[in-house]
Amino acid sequence: MTLTLGDRLKVHAMVYVASEPIPRFWPMRTFIHHNPLYGLEDKPFAEAVAEGSRLFHARGYLERAQYQRYRREGKIDDEHLRRRIAMFLASRTDVPAGVDLEAWLWHMATACEKSRAVEGGDWVDGAGVAAALKGEAVARPDEDLDPALRAILARHYSSESPVYRHVDALFGTTIGATLDDLVTKSCLDFFDEGQSAWQAPGREAGFFPAWKDLARRNVRFLLRGLHLRQVLAEEETAEGMIAYVLRRLGVPEEAWQGYITHELTRMHGWAGFIRYRMSAKHYYWAQRYPAGLVDFLAVRMVLGFALLQEGSRHHGTPASASEVASLLDREPRQAYLRHELYGGTVLPAWAHKVDDTLARTRPAQVARMAADYAAARAQWENRRTAASLRALAQGVGRSAEAALESLEPARLDDLLAVVRDWEDAEGFMWLQAMESHYMNELVAKIHRPATEARSDRRPFAQALFCIDVRSELMRRHLEALGDYQTFGIAGFFGIPLGYLEFGKGSEAHLCPAVQTPKNLVLEIPAGLDLEEEPLYDALQHVLHELKASVLSPFVAVEAVGLLFSLGLVGRTLAPLGYHRWRRRLHADKPVTRLLLDKLNPEQADSIIRAVQRAMIVRALARELRIPRDKVTDDDVRNLREVALGHEKGPSMLARRLGMTDAAERDFLEKLRGVYRIDRAVTSLQMGRLGRIGFSIEEQVRYVTQALLSIGLDRNFSRFVLLVAHMSQSENNPYESALDCGACGGGKGLPNARALATMANKSEVRRRLRERGIVIPEDTWFLPAIHNTTTDVIELHDLDLVPARHLLYLERLRSGLNAASRRSAAERMPQLGTGSRLAADPLAAAALAQRQAHDWSQVRPEWGLSRNVYAIVGRRSLTEGVNLEGRSFLQSYDYRLDPRGRLLENILTGPLVVGEWINLEHYFSVVDTESYGSGSKVYHNVAGRFAVMTGNQSDLRTGLPTQTVLKDGRPYHEPVRLIALVEAPLEFAQRTVGRIAKVQALVAGGWVRLLVLDPEDDYRVHVLEDGAFTVRPRSARSVQAPPSNQPLEASS
Amino acid sequence: MGIALVVLATLFVPLFPGSWVFNRLVAGLPAGLAQGLAVLVLPQLGLEVLHLTPQAPLELAAWRPWGMGWAAVSALLYAVRALSARDVGIWSRLMLSSGLGLVWFVWWTGAPTEVLRIFALSWSVPAAVALFLAGALVDRMGGACVGLQGGLVEVMPRATTGLVLAGLALTATPMFPAFFSLWRGLVAVAPAWAMMWLPLIFLWGWAAGRLFQDLLFGDYRGESVTDVGVATIAAIGLLLAGSLALGLGASGGLS
């Protein structure tokens, strides 16, 4: 079968459409918090959640019992919930008369702990329930049993569902699980990023071609009885294979789209990772070993088809959609019994009888059993429903039970429909009621600024922290300690940069995942002997190689195995001491500078020349054994020119040393091929060097934007700290999830260093002055990093600090250290380490240090758990308020932003990052298995880019339970991000309206938007049901923010 | 007469095909206590019948290899069948039938009736416990097919503990009486016969693993149920502990 171009495009388009709802999965080295329903963000939240539940078989809201627990704790706005019930009922036309449904729904929501108060069923109807309520027998569905069964089966067996799923459900086979295992193994072989000692061959050709080549000779497949050769011979391309298998399976063409969607979403972790690779043009492994979702799907389809064939051969199970359809149509009774038995829904008392009957395969007996079973099932379902309704009515009280019993069957049908629809919608109602509570709480907490005039008092130091919720604690404590002013800014400080760290081979993108940095910054050591490798590092390298090799462990265990026990014992018994000891063995990282300024063409050319000359010197030594002292600079220059084709050979060196033409030609080939001294490569490198650094205009723009966006355009203090943040933990694949989300899951220090370098530059300051931003001569921008696991703030680039500032460093350090200890004292008890630490900051700080180095610690810190608010506005709104580390704080002064451009930047960058973080946590709590990644305890690293549960599973996306649950209950309270923007309402609306993406998020309810209008007497307007409504009067009387609080008062 | 009595005994101390009657008889009783008592009493009745013909193993000496082989086949057959059983009641009966097949094996070696009684009780007591608990499941859920609901331990931790202990005892796990009985039988026969025990133990372990998987893992999907009472599980614990002590005593103690 040869596919036309149109067919290929059709398959491609179908895969593309099917993959849209699947969230991209970033490698865990740079864990990106993201909305698992990102692909559905064009829909309103509730609709998207329903669609996500269908696609990923996941829950979208918490269990009812948990919301009830929140209600008992006072975290639900009852009034809001009642209003939602009334609105729900008002939208219905089928409310049965005589039943106080408002009371019913209220009782059901608040008093019934079961997740479904009234379970449905295939046989439940008003007549049956009415009979059961009267204690009468429910009519047997004997008449027209076959059509009824066909209708039931049609609801369960859609032609869009994979055939193996139907076969598993009807025959109790495990083809789906086996297929998942085989696909996982194939993916692990191909996508490995260096974890395996032996790599799969032929990966450069792409996923499907490489897999196909291996599969033909794969003994594992042969042993399973999978005949892949014949299938693989039918089609060459991945698209062709998909089309071929779909046709052989007899899937109608109109169902292909749905079928492909089911197949891709079944393992959405792997599919999401492949999606990420497809879109990440810079990703090294994707460039080297390309793979697409079409390849993935083709592998899955071929394996699934072969497994079905194998099942058909050995067990006589259907091997195609048409055979399944035929069974459902011809033998609905047998199919129904199978569906009940193997689907796990059979009545327990009937399980053995049904199993026995099916095993005997006598049609008459099967038909009789199906009729009897259906009758029993109908009886059971209707009685159960009647009992549930009666229990509800009794709970409602008064005359509800009598009213229920008096309902006609048709009205009972209406009642059941209303109850069923309410139960489907109830989670969303609870969510809104919970959000309403948090909105009220926020409105009560914020206060109007003490004065509208901007203060001229010069603080001792100003500190720009990331908007991250963990910064809130540190900022609060720092401000309480003394003369510090703090600001919130996205942790990449508004500078999207590609960063090549010294000693690293690949570029990291330090900016929100939605952006792609144009500029590259290099970290260059200020002084280092590159040839020298410290002894311990070299030893460690050797040990690593020994471990990774296939054969060496056989001998190495006896020889050096004992060495590893030192680490084992040290890390387990004295993690902190062991860490300190090891740190002493490692060489210190050298002092470095950032290559930040844009290179002009001459400088770029000079750098390339210098590198190429160094390479030629190395090549001469390695290839021709000619030491440096026998070669002059002119020789090297001349060799370079000859290699690049700028000059003709023979080279000066060849002539001088009497090299033959062949030897020189061979050497030049090596220079071009191996050492990349080639004209085309040089041209490429020139292009890449063009990315390095920022022009002076760009630097001025970034500094201006960073300062104005947080409202800092005057009154600069002596120190302006640019505090990036990072986390520190051992044995934790999720470590980067605790790093800076605004830096793409990286550590934001390079961005802080870059901004500090720019802002300290005299030329930049001169141009800023021209724009009205006057930075005093004695102001020094100092980069720092806040370790959120230990609460320590470490200052960087101190060697650049002017001498006159050094006098003040001690005061700065002691202030920061005190704030660190106070933060630890507030934070550590929340980790369940005992409340006494709240009063002992030193002990709390010591324990925080231990947590960071304890390799058995599954929860080194709570990270961003419990985040709920994003406040975009002046710090004076929340200064002195304990926001419990639950708020993203973005400083913003609308008075400096007449055109709304700065607000646009905040809404498109930090707010979207906040929304992703918030929804990642939300969904990881509401469904810890499908959206979250389950327990960390069972995780294993897969291919160095993700984790799996056990030794083989789909890639686990989302957050682990240890991040969001405490003692089995949600620690993170899942509500959507409540974003409060301080700006005039009309101005805020206009700004949001200009950004389509943000407007979709706000209007779709992915973010709950509140506008605090300073020009409307600080009233809060909330967007609800498509319109802004004024929240009850929010601004409290003017109050001065507290300062210099003692520890007890703030914690 | 001797052969007739032996054949009669196969109906009570299950040996294929007489075991079919034994299983039908037990299955015909109400689930729970009745079945539990039946599996305690019936094998002892069978042994009483055998006791009437103490010379039978000697008289039928020429048949001994065939008889031992048949006992082994019967035990293996029921162990294989137990692999596919998902209903606790059926599983317990099949495991009991498999274990009691070995009574015949030992009978052919000429073991005294007292030894045979203890041998039979080694399997009967845990089977009685399992069947009693299966009855508790039937009362609460309508059936004892634990694989349907999964994760029974979530909602019935006490009953699950009892079932797991009974399951371990039925599969001759060390320290339980069946283990010592098995060991005793093993040393009483020629080494060639001992090879037969290996697949048997393997099959028992596998069958127990499947049952435990249904009991202990996965999320519970059934209706809400109440667990068996503390007194009940305490009595079961005492019974199993007593049988453990009996086993240890019969094997010569811990020394």
DSSP code, position A942: E
**Do residues B26 and B93 touch, judged by C-beta distance below 8 A?**
yes
Q: Is the dihedral of CA A128, A130, A133, A136 positive or negative?
A: negative
d(CA A395, CA A113): 12
pLDDT band (50, 70, 90) for residue B23: very high
DSSP 3-state of A1044: coil
Residues A607 and A493 in one domain: no
Based on the domain organization, do A714 and A754 belong to the same domain?
yes
Touching B: A residues 742-771, CB under 8 Å: none
Q: How many residue contacts between A and B have a Cβ separation below 8 Å?
A: 33
Q: Tell me, yes or no, if B86 comes closer than 8 A to chain A by beta carbon.
A: yes
- Token pair of A483, please? 């003369």
The span from the CA of B208 to the CA of A792, in Å, is 54
Report the b/e string of A474-483 with b at 16+ CB within 10 A.
bbbbbbbbbe
The residue of chain A with its CA nearest to that of B150 is: A344
A177/B contact by beta carbon, under 8 A: no
Q: What is the rounded distance in angstroms from the CA atom of residue B26 to the CA atom of residue B129? A: 14
Hey, are the CB atoms on B138 and A349 less than 8 Å from each other?
Answer: yes
Long-range contacts of residues A415-419, Cβ cutoff 8 Å, at least 24 apart: A415/A96, A415/A99, A415/A101, A415/A389, A416/A118, A416/A120, A416/A124, A416/A126, A416/A129, A416/A385, A417/A94, A418/A89, A418/A92, A418/A94, A418/A95, A418/A96, A418/A101, A419/A104, A419/A105, A419/A108, A419/A117, A419/A118
Nearest CA in chain B to A380: B142
Checking if the pLDDT of A359 tops 80, the result is yes
Say if A731 falls within a structural domain: yes
Contact call for residues A886 and A469 (beta carbons, < 8 A): yes
Per-position DSSP letters for A678-745, written without gaps between them: -HHHHHHHHHHHTTBSB-HHHHHHHHHHHHHHTT-SS---SEEEEEEEE---SS-TTGGGGSBGGGTT
Please name which of B193, B65, B208 lies closest in space to residue B146, comparing C-alpha atoms. Answer: B208
Same domain, A474 and A574: no
Q: Give mean pLDDT, residues A812-827.
A: 96
Tell me the mean pLDDT in the region A166-183: 96
Question: Most A CBs within 10 Å: which of B148, B149, B219, B224, as the mutation test of the A interface?
Answer: B148
Mean pLDDT for the stretch of residues A214-233: 87
pTM listed for this prediction: 0.87
H/E stretch holding A15 reads helix A5-19
Tell the burial category of A24 from Cβ atoms under 10 Å away from its Cβ (0-12, 13-18, 19+): buried
Higher-pLDDT residue of A625 and B184 is A625
- B-chain CB neighbours of A934 within 8 Å are none
Using the Cβ of A57 and the Cβ atoms of chain B, whether some distance falls under 8 Å is answered with no
Domain count, chain A: 3
Query: In the predicted model, is pLDDT for residue B80 greater than 90?
Result: yes
Residues 411-440 of A with CB under 8 A from B: none
Domain with A555, as residue range(s), is 535-589
| Residue A414 placed within a domain | no
Kindly report the number of other CB atoms within 10 A of residue A963's CB atom: 27
Band of pLDDT at residue A915, cut at 50, 70 and 90: very high
pLDDT, one tens digit per residue, over B112-169 is 888 899 889 999 999 999 999 999 999 998 888 888 888 889 899 999 999 999 999 9
Domain assignment present for residue A271? The answer is no
> A707 and A558 in one domain?
no
Residue B138 touches partner A, C-beta closer than 8 Å: yes
pLDDT of A32 reads 85
**Whether residue A906 sits in one domain with residue A832:** yes
Q: Indicate whether A578 and A621 sit together in one domain.
A: no
Residue of chain B with shortest Cα separation from A356 = B85
Domain annotation covers residue A616? yes
Tell me what the mean pLDDT of segment A429-449 comes to: 94
Looking at residue A845, what is its pLDDT?
94
Nearest to A348 among B90, B143, B224 (CB): B143
Clarify whether residues A654 and A751 are in a common domain: no
Instruction: Kindly state whether residues A869 and A1001 are assigned to the same domain.
Output: yes
Do residues A571 and A607 both lie within one domain?
Answer: no
Say yes or no to pLDDT of A1044 above 50: no
Tokens matching residue A386 = 């009647």
Residue B166: inside a domain, yes or no?
A: yes
- Reported as a single tens digit per residue, the pLDDT across A110-141 is 999 888 999 889 999 999 999 999 999 999 88
Of A344, A345, A349, the CB nearest to B142: A349
pLDDT over 90 for what percent of chain A? 70
| Per-residue model confidence as pLDDT tens digits over A237-293 | 999 999 999 999 999 999 999 999 999 999 999 999 999 999 988 888 999 999 999
Asked if residue A913 and residue A847 are part of one domain, the reply reads yes
Nearest CA in chain A to B142: A349
Q: Looking at this protein, which amino acid is placed at residue B226?
A: T
Q: What local confidence, expressed as pLDDT, does residue B150 receive?
A: 82
User: Does residue B255 belong to any structural domain of this protein?
Assistant: no
Q: What is the number of domains present in chain B?
A: 1
User: What CA–CA distance (Å, rounded) separates A182 from A308?
Assistant: 14
pLDDT recorded at residue A921: 97
Q: Which domain holds residue B122?
A: 2-250
The pLDDT of residue A447 is 87
Give the closest-approach CA distance of B211 to chain A in angstroms.
15
Residues A734 and A660 in one domain: no
Token readout for B29 is 């009783």
Question: Which pLDDT value is given to residue A77?
Answer: 96
Q: Which of B87, B221, B222 sits opposite A352 (nearest CB)?
A: B87
- Per-residue confidence at A149, pLDDT binned at 50, 70, 90? very high
Q: Is the ipTM of this complex over 0.85?
A: no
pLDDT-derived band at A1045, boundaries 50, 70, 90 = very low
Q: How confident is the model at residue A1039 (pLDDT cuts 50, 70, 90)?
A: very low
Report the distance separating Cα A922 and Cα A37, nearest Å: 11
Question: Best interface-test mutation with B: which of A352, A354, A935, A938 has the largest number of B CBs within 10 A?
Answer: A352
CB contact (8 A) between residue A351 and residue B87: yes
pLDDT in tens, B221-231: 877 889 999 99
Question: Is A225 within the bounds of a domain?
Answer: no
In the predicted model, what is the mean pLDDT of residues A689-699? 92
Spatial contact of A920 and A35, defined as CB atoms under 8 Å apart: yes
A349/chain B closest Cα distance in angstroms: 4
Q: Is residue A407 part of a domain?
A: no
The answer, yes or no, to whether residue A1038 has pLDDT greater than 70, is no
Are B145 and A351 in contact (CB < 8 Å)? yes
Do A585 and A505 lie in a common domain? no
Question: Which among A114, A344, A347 has the least Cβ separation from residue B221?
Answer: A344
Return phi, psi of residue B221, to 5°.
Answer: -115, 0
Between CA A1000 and CA A965 the distance in angstroms is 30
The reported pLDDT for the residue numbered B197 is: 83
Domain membership of residue B46 (yes or no) is yes
- Which of A565-569, A583-587, A626-630, B23-27 is least confident? A583-587
Question: What are B243's two structure tokens?
Answer: 């049988």
Q: Does B87 touch chain A (CB under 8 A)?
A: yes
CB proximity under 8 Å: A 343-362 to B: 344-352
Instruction: Copy the structure tokens of residue A1023.
Output: 């967007």
More confident residue, A565 or B95: B95
Tell me how close the Cα of B22 comes to any Cα of chain A, in angstroms.
18
Beta partners for residue A487, in sequence order: A464
CB-based contact, B90 to chain A, within 8 Å: yes
